[in-house]
Amino acid sequence: MGGMIAQTMAVTRPDRVRSLTSIMSTTGRRTVGWQHPALLPTLVTPRGPSRDAYVKGSTKVWKMIGSPGFPHSPEELEKRAGETYDRGVSRAGVARQMLAVLTQPDRTGDLRSLRLPAAVIHGLADRMVHVSGGRATAMAIPGAELMLFDGMGHDFPVALFDTIADAVRRTADRATDRTSDRAG
């Protein structure tokens, strides 16, 4: 959902956005970026009221949507789920997020109007947002750099941290360079 928010900010307030990196996202067009159908039953199943039930359900989800080329150990997934539960879980918040994603408008036409440095990052193994969503986003934004990663799902593999951070920085630097060129 973060990529959708960033795209919306860029098209509605281009005066406030100097560069855009869209990660694991889509344009809002219903024919791209779909979820793998096998995910839906698991995603809508309540995880239970207890910490143990939440950890078990969350671990199952991350095994389904995580990066098969960069797998996490069951212990890592359980630890992350436990930390999430301990920080506070809002079932209503999760429902609102799902509804927000499902009701997104198609931003394709608006994305074509962007004139800013942009990078689009997507995993080829993303089951939550099919790679077609990333490809469509990159095709819609003039001059966007598309980076696709084999084995990456709907998470950030530690092995790709530096590569992804470098892409974000490179894109932001292109905006800084453009701003400097206009000022000078």
**In terms of domains, do 118 and 89 share one?**
no
**In terms of domains, do 122 and 141 share one?**
yes
| Average pLDDT for the chain | 92
Q: What CATH number is attached to the domain comprising 111?
A: 3.40.50.1820
**In terms of domains, do 165 and 81 share one?**
no
Instruction: Single out the residue in 59, 82, 101 at which a domain terminates.
Output: 101
**In terms of domains, do 29 and 114 share one?**
yes
**In terms of domains, do 71 and 162 share one?**
no
pLDDT of residue 181: 57
**In terms of domains, do 116 and 178 share one?**
yes
Residue 149: give the domain boundaries.
Answer: 2-35+105-183
pLDDT for 47-75, tens place per residue? 778 999 999 999 999 999 999 999 999 99
Phi-psi region of 28 (alpha: psi -120 to 50; beta: other; left: phi over 0): left
**In terms of domains, do 47 and 26 share one?**
no
pLDDT for 101-157, tens place per residue? 888 999 999 999 999 999 999 999 999 999 999 999 999 999 999 999 999 999 999
How many structural domains comprise the chain? Answer: 2
**In terms of domains, do 120 and 77 share one?**
no
**In terms of domains, do 80 and 132 share one?**
no
When pLDDT is averaged across residues 26-36 and rounded to a whole number, the result is 94
Where residue 4 falls among pLDDT bands split at 50, 70, 90? very high
Token pair, residue 102, equals 């499902």
**In terms of domains, do 30 and 112 share one?**
yes
Higher pLDDT: 90 or 162? It is 162
**In terms of domains, do 30 and 113 share one?**
yes
Identify the CA nearest to 153 among candidates 40, 86, 45, 63.
Answer: 63
* Torsion from C-alpha of 23, 26, 32, 36, nearest 10 degrees: 60
What does pTM read for this prediction? 0.90
Instruction: Single out the residue in 101, 118, 152 at which a domain terminates.
Output: 101
**In terms of domains, do 148 and 161 share one?**
yes
Instruction: Single out the residue in 51, 79, 101 at which a domain terminates.
Output: 101
